[in-house]
Amino acid sequence: MNTVILIGASTGGPRALQTVLRGMPPLDASIVLVQHMPEYISGPFRNTLAGLTEMQVVIATDRMGLEPGTVYIAPGGIHLTLEGNTQLRLVQGPKVCFVRPSIDVAMKSLQQKPGSRIIGVILTGMGQDGAEGITHIKKAGGITIAQDEKSSTIYGMPRAAVQTGSVDHVLPLERVQSKLIGLAGVLLKPRSGG
């Protein structure tokens, strides 16, 4: 089963994503992060997250294939899409919901495919980027999660997602990691030797 977890965040997102990834074991899934941020923040942000989790953390590049147990960060200033739920593409284009990369653009590129499972998560942020994307993921048979109001720095994006009626689970931030582990499972490392 190819599982893709796409997490979108904006204001308050870096701290929220640190909470979600802190101590995260390698999941049997690929995690794609779309955090609204300028391009020059991408490298330091990657370094911070890489120190928190056993998962490999990389900045997405064009035509990079998805691997389980890996976190991919959308670079600032360019849209990220997924081709066939298995390959990342970086695409130029106008801002969507006043931002680039846009969570909606990334989420709406995911497809319902046999042997593929998609999970969409909207964390804290201003505006409504991700609401259309969450609706798309739900219609495609995916599982959808939004951060609750109490634990959000700004409840704009999670609220917009919840108001679509397409969110399966509204969770406090500290419960998002355990939910993702429960949905995706932990990547079993092959035993060395015989």
Which residues belong to the active site?
10, 36, 129
How far apart CA 109 and CA 123 sit, in angstroms, is 19
The count of C-alpha atoms lying within 13 angstroms of the C-alpha of 68, restricted to the half-sphere facing its C-beta, is 18
Report the C-alpha gap between 33 and 103 in whole angstroms.
9
Q: Where is 89: in which H helix or E strand? A: strand 87-91
Cα separation, 162 vs 168, in Å, equals 9
